[in-house]
């Protein structure tokens, strides 16, 4: 087993085309993203540009003025002017200080959701104060105090404990894609186990070793290399591109492990199918790019759009699950969601491994 493992590792490390897709390509993509978006960070946030339209709600106007600066980059303007600014993308939303405060946004991206949450929080507190005034007038003073704490209150609720630059979406999706690209060495490994795929595989099928040993040693060696690849990608992003993943970075490791396993299992599954090498490569490249696209690698808000339109796709797309696990731990601070993503990935991996093993364990063929 050790002998097999050693030579499997050697082969994988020397297969430059597989290594290109699994390591070099994601590093190139990360560098290009960096050149496009700059250094993303989870710890700092830019003020969101908004327009505010005067109305009869003085309290809300005061609240907006309070928010102006650190959280909002608010500018008071006429409604018509504000609409034009929204259409041209100069601002992300318009707050109307009417009796019933409202917000208009033009898309459903991260900044827009923060603005929505900000308004919700204000309305909830306003209702709370009304209730307190009616039921406990003596507690009103304390309630007013809570209004002045909007900034502290709003910030954690809006972003799950942390604020972020929305371009981090691309980097998370890229890591998801890199994990899936572990499928490339996976395909090669599986093809070297099917006697009907190559002379080498046939030769390896008649050695005096249990099939399970061969399959497991292949899987473990491909997985080990892929895990190192993902860690190298993360280190490159963190220390060369200076992309911050937040203070809970050790929790990123389980995602890398699970993501790598899923990628490798996916490749081994495709490799175990009975079709030509070209068809397998095509299927692999096409499907992993599609999954990465749906996870938001080419269009930052794609994952959010799918979440609204067809959330099941996000639950079944490994790239989206990997990226979501990153979000859950780095942005939302949502361990339950993090755990859910990892569990789905684990189930996905187990199903793929079992299906592949069912095909690869075969030792006798109808034809070669």
Name the pairing type of β-strands 72-76 and 93-96. unpaired
CB nearer another protein, residue 205 or residue 314: 205
CB nearer another protein, residue 141 or residue 206: 206
Instruction: Answer whether 354's CB lies under 8 Å from 272's CB.
Output: no
Tokens encoding 176: 């998801």
Cβ of residue 307: shortest distance to another protein, in angstroms?
Answer: 43
Determine, following the binding rule CB under 8 A, whether residue 10 of this chain makes contact with another protein.
Answer: yes
CA torsion through residues 137, 139, 141, 143, sign:
negative
Residues 30, 38: Cα–Cα separation, whole Å: 10
Determine, following the binding rule CB under 8 A, whether residue 276 of this chain makes contact with another protein.
Answer: no
Determine, following the binding rule CB under 8 A, whether residue 4 of this chain makes contact with another protein.
Answer: yes
Tokens encoding 39: 């250094």
CB nearer another protein, residue 5 or residue 25: 5
Determine, following the binding rule CB under 8 A, whether residue 251 of this chain makes contact with another protein.
Answer: no
Cβ of residue 200: shortest distance to another protein, in angstroms?
Answer: 4
Q: What angle do CA 232, 301, 335 make, to 5 degrees?
A: 60
Cβ of residue 280: shortest distance to another protein, in angstroms?
Answer: 18
In what side-by-side order are the strands of the sheet with 48-53? 72-76, 48-53, 93-96, 102-105
Nearest residue to 364 via CA among 243, 228, 249, 196 = 196
Tokens encoding 162: 């942390």
- Please work out the total of residues on this chain that contact another protein, with binding judged by CB under 8 A: 26
Determine, following the binding rule CB under 8 A, whether residue 3 of this chain makes contact with another protein.
Answer: yes
Cβ of residue 210: shortest distance to another protein, in angstroms?
Answer: 7
| Interacting residues with another protein between 190 and 219 (CB under 8 A) | 195, 198-200, 202-203, 205-211
Site string for another protein, 281-300 (x = CB under 8 A): --------------------
Cβ of residue 185: shortest distance to another protein, in angstroms?
Answer: 12
Long-range contacts from 55-59, C-beta under 8 angstroms, 24+ separation: 55/96, 55/97, 55/98, 55/99, 55/101, 56/97, 56/98, 56/99, 57/97, 57/98, 57/99, 57/101, 58/97, 59/126
Q: Which DSSP category does 137 fall into?
A: G
Q: Which DSSP string corresponds to 69-84?
A: TTTEEEEE--HHHHHH
Considering only the stretches 2-10, 37-45, 66-74, 221-229, report the one whose residues sit in contact with another protein under the rule CB under 8 A.
2-10
Determine, following the binding rule CB under 8 A, whether residue 233 of this chain makes contact with another protein.
Answer: no
Cβ of residue 225: shortest distance to another protein, in angstroms?
Answer: 13
CB nearer another protein, residue 195 or residue 243: 195
Residues 261, 172: Cα–Cα separation, whole Å: 17
Cβ of residue 203: shortest distance to another protein, in angstroms?
Answer: 4
Q: Which DSSP string corresponds to 88-127?
A: TTS-SEEEE-SSS-EEEESS-SHHHHHHHHHHHHHHHHHH
Determine, following the binding rule CB under 8 A, whether residue 367 of this chain makes contact with another protein.
Answer: yes
Cβ of residue 201: shortest distance to another protein, in angstroms?
Answer: 8
Site string for another protein, 12-41 (x = CB under 8 A): --xx--------------------------
CB nearer another protein, residue 7 or residue 32: 7
Element (H, E) at 350: helix 335-360
CB nearer another protein, residue 132 or residue 187: 187
Element (H, E) at 234: helix 211-235
Cβ of residue 358: shortest distance to another protein, in angstroms?
Answer: 16
CB nearer another protein, residue 108 or residue 368: 368
Determine, following the binding rule CB under 8 A, whether residue 229 of this chain makes contact with another protein.
Answer: no
CB nearer another protein, residue 187 or residue 319: 187
Contact set with another protein (CB under 8 A):
3-4, 7, 10-11, 14-15, 195, 198-200, 202-203, 205-211, 363-368
């Amino acid at each position: 087993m050790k002998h097999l493992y050693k030579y499997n590792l050697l082969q994988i490390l020397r297969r430059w085309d597989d290594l290109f897709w699994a390591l070099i390509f994601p590093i190139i993509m990360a560098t290009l993203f960096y050149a496009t978006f700059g250094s993303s960070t989870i710890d700092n946030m830019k003020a969101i540009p908004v327009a505010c339209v005067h109305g009869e709600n003085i309290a809300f106007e005061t609240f907006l003025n309070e928010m102006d600066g650190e959280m909002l980059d608010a500018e008071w303007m006429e409604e018509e002017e504000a609409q034009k600014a929204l259409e041209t993308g100069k601002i992300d939303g318009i707050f109307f200080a009417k009796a019933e405060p409202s917000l208009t946004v033009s898309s459903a991206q991260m900044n827009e959701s923060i603005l929505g949450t900000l308004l919700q929080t204000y309305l909830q507190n306003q209702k709370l104060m009304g209730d307190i005034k009616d039921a406990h007038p003596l507690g009103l003073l304390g309630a007013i105090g809570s209004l002045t704490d909007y900034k502290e209150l709003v910030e954690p609720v809006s972003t799950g404990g942390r604020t972020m630059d929305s371009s981090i979406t691309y980097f998370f999706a890229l890591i998801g894609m890199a994990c899936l690209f572990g499928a490339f060495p996976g395909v090669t490994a599986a093809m070297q186990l099917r006697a009907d795929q190559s002379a080498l595989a046939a030769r390896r099928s008649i050695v005096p070793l249990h099939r399970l040993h061969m399959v497991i040693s292949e899987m473990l060696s491909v997985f080990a290399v892929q895990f190192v690849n993902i860690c190298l990608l993360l280190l490159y992003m963190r220390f060369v591109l200076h992309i911050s993943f937040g203070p809970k970075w050790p929790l990123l490791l389980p995602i890398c492990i699970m993501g790598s396993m899923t990628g490798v299992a996916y490749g081994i599954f495709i490799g175990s199918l009975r079709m030509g090498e070209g068809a397998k490569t095509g299927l692999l490249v096409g499907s992993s790019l599609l999954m990465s696209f749906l996870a938001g690698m080419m269009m930052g808000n794609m994952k959010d759009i799918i979440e609204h339109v067809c959330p099941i796709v996000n639950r079944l797309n490994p790239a989206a699950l990997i990226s979501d696990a990153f979000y859950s731990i780095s942005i939302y601070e949502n361990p339950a969601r993090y755990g859910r993503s990892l569990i789905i990935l684990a189930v996905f991996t187990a199903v793929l491994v079992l299906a592949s093993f069912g095909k690869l364990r075969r030792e006798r063929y109808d034809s070669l």
